[in-house]
């Protein structure tokens, strides 16, 4: 048997996504490698233009995401399940949360937990503030950048993907989030373009993180004396080792490799955090966590909407931190959102949002308080500003920090281990996500495809690392965040549209016209149900059934000394029974010929009644008080009379109550 033919038969790649994405990824990487200075300068100018002129758009988009998810938590849609109504979560709560951290924030917690608070604390823009205020603000800004806003970005993408994939049974792909707008067109070029964007964004985000992370690992191993220096040859070894483990983990599947590594890492991270808490300034840390949490809550809305438009001196810091963070989280959201969605089947909307927004945020706050505030305390009381002086050297700052704690060699080794595992879990989940995008979420893919993505990541990361092109790639990733923020706003629109339809589908009761049905006329009822009416048929129904019912009822009302008028109107054809009044509004019960558009899927289905057009007609009621009418096509003459009497009884009952005068009375009378 020809081995090439066997391999070809196993390929699950979608050519419309993979081929153009591969060409674009390789082209951009080579340009960034061969012309690093030119490309970095050009892309940096574009980034600065966007950050300076459109920073408000980043802020407003992220604000919409936060408010949107908070609305869903408290809305009736929160109880909708991400999957069939009887589905159960695939992973335990601990495993689920562990994998959320591994994919979403993992390596960043290690890289920025000391460096960011120290950077804010020592930034010249805050030099005029007191030492205490600078420390409080450093914690506040770190909370802001790593809190609810960051996870809301991931949450919007993850929730949209999980909902449309598991509830609508669509592919776990970004294109599926446009189904309410595009319908079947998501399977065409528009869908391919969306997935290409997601694939390239995911690849570039992981590549740059891998490259910069290797630099931190190399610096840490050098600091520990394990490596003699940070030469490129050693970085090659680190990348190859990480990617081999990542490929092995990815080919083992989410339930084995990714889940187990994530659990190991979260346990190791908690142990390290507790060590710092107990051996550092414990009472100070506990107090500052409580105060910092309150400060964050108090300043939440001010921080959310603040663009520092009235503070020109603050805008440089604002662009380099807040706007850059929002762009960075948005650029990572296709990857993280896809992975979160992949592991969240069976959760409810409320459970998903609550867990994604609150649990990682609280953990991040505790983590950043323990490490960041410890570093600031040491800088004030023991280091005499030595840590602040290293604010620009984020690669080594974490290891310098542990010099002020006991068991330095042990803790530094544990830090290296955690960073290493975080890299593996980020890379293996990224490999799975990229393969999922490239195959339109194929049920089974050969393991060599996962190895292909891992190898490509390693190769291009090393090429860029050696040529100095990582910065260019990172800047381009940040630039792509703006158009994707707009795409995410459409995600919100489509998700609401889907949830409204979903809620209406499961909560819809039987048709009003079926109330009171018995089995006496079941054959006649069946013929009515399976026949779809055109305009002429409904007009005949009004003339032969509705009008005679109105006329008979009007005659009987006349015997009760109540004058009722029966009339017909055109365009559209309709019949009305009106009881006029002087002091209160008239009672009106009308029926009109109402057009209705039906689903193309129903028309195409063979085992349903024959339908010639997607436009049919129904006899729909309407009333004098503009209430929503209903279809009465199944009513007999006597049932129509009964329904009019029900509405008339309701009208009289409401008219009896003085509190309803504002609705039933005629102004001025």
Q: Looking up tokens 């608070």, which residue turns up? A: 117
CA atoms within 13 A on the CB side of 591: 27
pLDDT band at residue 185 using 50, 70 and 90 as cut-offs: confident
- If you compute the radius of gyration of the chain from its CA atoms, what whole number of angstroms results? 32
β-sheet bridge partners, residue 575: 568, 591
Task: Please state, in angstroms and rounded to a whole number, the distance separating the CA atoms of residues 323 and 60.
Answer: 11
What is the arithmetic mean of pLDDT over 59-79?
94
Q: Is the dihedral of CA 9, 15, 18, 23 positive or negative?
A: positive
What is the arithmetic mean of pLDDT over 486-496?
93
> Do 575 and 546 meet the contact criterion of CB atoms below 8 Å apart?
yes
- Of residues 513 and 338, more confidently modeled: 338
Least confident of 214-223, 425-434, 436-445, 659-668: 659-668
What is the arithmetic mean of pLDDT over 138-162?
94
> Do 119 and 375 meet the contact criterion of CB atoms below 8 Å apart?
no
What is the arithmetic mean of pLDDT over 88-103?
75
Q: What is the pTM of this model?
A: 0.78
Task: Please state, in angstroms and rounded to a whole number, the distance separating the CA atoms of residues 186 and 662.
Answer: 50
pLDDT more than 90, % of the chain: 28
At residue 103, the pLDDT reads 57
At residue 668, the pLDDT reads 45
What is the arithmetic mean of pLDDT over 277-287?
94
pLDDT band at residue 393 using 50, 70 and 90 as cut-offs: confident
pLDDT band at residue 576 using 50, 70 and 90 as cut-offs: very high
At residue 669, the pLDDT reads 47
Residues 605-642: tens digit of each pLDDT:
777 776 767 788 889 999 987 778 888 888 889 989 99
At residue 455, the pLDDT reads 85
At residue 102, the pLDDT reads 59
Task: Please state, in angstroms and rounded to a whole number, the distance separating the CA atoms of residues 113 and 365.
Answer: 10
Task: Please state, in angstroms and rounded to a whole number, the distance separating the CA atoms of residues 3 and 6.
Answer: 5
At residue 121, the pLDDT reads 93
- Of residues 246 and 139, more confidently modeled: 139
Structure tokens at 355: 């867990």
Does residue 350 carry a pLDDT above 70? Answer: yes
**The dihedral formed by the CA atoms of 422, 423, 427 and 428, expressed in degrees to the nearest 10:** -50
Does residue 372 carry a pLDDT above 80? Answer: yes
Structure tokens at 393: 């050297």
By residue count, the chain amounts to: 669
The phi-psi region of residue 87 (left if phi > 0; otherwise alpha if psi is between -120 and 50; otherwise beta) is: beta
At residue 663, the pLDDT reads 59
At residue 371, the pLDDT reads 94
What is the arithmetic mean of pLDDT over 41-66?
88
pLDDT band at residue 229 using 50, 70 and 90 as cut-offs: low
- Of residues 667 and 398, more confidently modeled: 398
What is the arithmetic mean of pLDDT over 146-162?
93
Does residue 211 carry a pLDDT above 90? Answer: no
Work out the angle between the directed axes of helices 148-166 and 481-507 (0-180°, nearest 10).
Answer: 50
Residues 500-534: tens digit of each pLDDT:
888 876 766 666 666 666 667 777 777 777 676 78
Task: Please state, in angstroms and rounded to a whole number, the distance separating the CA atoms of residues 497 and 3.
Answer: 48
Q: Is the dihedral of CA 105, 451, 186, 602 positive or negative?
A: negative
Q: How many CB atoms lie within 10 A of CB 510?
A: 8
What is the arithmetic mean of pLDDT over 236-258?
72
Does residue 419 carry a pLDDT above 70? Answer: yes
Least confident of 243-247, 524-528, 623-627, 647-651: 524-528
pLDDT band at residue 667 using 50, 70 and 90 as cut-offs: very low
3-state secondary structure of 70: helix
Task: Please state, in angstroms and rounded to a whole number, the distance separating the CA atoms of residues 527 and 635.
Answer: 13
Domains, the chain? 14-503 (1.20.1740.10), 522-664 (no CATH)
What is the arithmetic mean of pLDDT over 368-385?
91
């Amino acid at each position: 048997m020809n081995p090439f033919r066997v391999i070809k038969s196993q390929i699950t790649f979608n050519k419309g996504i993979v081929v153009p994405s591969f060409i674009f990824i390789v082209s951009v990487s080579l340009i960034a490698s061969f012309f690093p200075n030119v490309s970095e300068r050009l892309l940096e100018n574009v980034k600065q233009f966007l950050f300076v002129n459109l920073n408000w758009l980043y802020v407003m988009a992220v604000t919409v995401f936060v408010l949107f998810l908070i609305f869903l938590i408290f809305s009736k849609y929160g109880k909708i399940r991400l999957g069939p109504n009887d589905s159960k979560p695939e992973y335990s709560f601990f495993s689920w949360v562990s994998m959320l951290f591994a994919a979403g924030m993992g390596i960043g917690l290690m890289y920025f937990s000391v460096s960011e608070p120290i950077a804010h604390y020592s930034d010249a823009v805050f030099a005029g503030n007191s030492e205490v205020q600078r420390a409080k603000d450093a914690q506040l800004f770190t909370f802001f950048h790593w809190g609810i806003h960051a996870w809301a970005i991931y949450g919007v993408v993850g929730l949209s993907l999980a909902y449309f994939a598991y509830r609508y049974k669509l592919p776990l792909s970004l294109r599926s989030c446009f189904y309410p707008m595009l319908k079947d067109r998501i399977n065409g070029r528009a869908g391919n373009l969306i997935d290409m964007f997601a694939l390239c964004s995911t690849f570039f985000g992981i590549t740059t993180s891998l490259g910069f992370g290797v630099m931190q690992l190399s610096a840490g191993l050098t600091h520990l004396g394990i490596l003699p220096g940070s030469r490129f040859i050693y970085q090659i070894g680190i990348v190859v080792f990480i990617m081999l483990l990542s490929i092995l983990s990815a080919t083992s599947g989410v339930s084995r490799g990714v889940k187990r590594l994530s659990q190991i890492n979260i346990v190791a991270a908690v142990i390290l955090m507790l060590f710092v808490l107990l051996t550092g300034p414990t009472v100070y840390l506990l107090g500052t966590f409580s105060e910092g949490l309150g400060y964050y809550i108090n300043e939440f809305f001010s921080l959310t909407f603040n663009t520092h438009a009235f503070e020109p001196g603050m805008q440089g810091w604002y662009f380099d931190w807040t706007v850059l963070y929002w762009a960075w989280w948005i650029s990572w959201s296709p990857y993280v959102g896809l992975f979160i969605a992949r592991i969240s089947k069976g959760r409810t909307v409320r459970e998903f949002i609550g867990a994604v927004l609150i649990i990682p945020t609280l953990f991040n706050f505790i983590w950043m308080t323990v490490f960041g505030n410890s570093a600031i305390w040491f800088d004030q009381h023991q280091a005499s500003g030595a840590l602040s002086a290293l604010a620009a050297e984020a690669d080594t700052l974490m290891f310098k920090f542990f010099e002020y704690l006991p068991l330095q060699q042990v803790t530094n080794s544990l830090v290296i281990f955690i960073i290493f595992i975080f890299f593996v879990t980020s890379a293996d989940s990224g490999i799975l996500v990229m393969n999922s995008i490239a195959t339109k979420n194929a049920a089974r893919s050969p393991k060599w495809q996962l190895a292909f993505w891992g190898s490509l990541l390693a190769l291009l990361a090393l090429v860029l690392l050696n040529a100095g092109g990582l910065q260019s790639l990172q800047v381009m990733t940040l630039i792509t965040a703006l158009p994707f923020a707009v795409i995410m706003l459409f995600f919100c629109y489509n998700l609401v549209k889907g949830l409204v339809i979903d809620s209406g589908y499961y909560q819809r009761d039987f048709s009003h016209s079926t109330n009171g049905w018995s089995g006496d006329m079941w054959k006649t009822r069946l013929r009515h149900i399976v026949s779809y009416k055109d305009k002429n048929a409904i007009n005949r129904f009004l003339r032969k059934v509705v009008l005679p019912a109105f006329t008979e009822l009007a005659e009987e009302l006349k015997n009760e000394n109540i004058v009722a008028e029966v009339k017909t109107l055109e365009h559209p054809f309709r019949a009305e029974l009106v009881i006029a009044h002087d002091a209160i509004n008239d009672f009106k019960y009308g029926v009109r010929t109402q057009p209705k558009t039906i689903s193309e899927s129903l028309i195409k289905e063979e085992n349903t009644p024959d339908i010639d057009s997607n436009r049919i007609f129904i006899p729909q009621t309407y009333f004098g008080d503009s209430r929503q009418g209903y279809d009465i096509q199944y009513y007999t003459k006597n049932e129509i009379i009964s329904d009019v009497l029900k509405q008339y009884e309701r009208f009289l009952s409401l008219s009896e109550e003085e509190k309803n005068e504002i609705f039933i009375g005629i102004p001025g009378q």
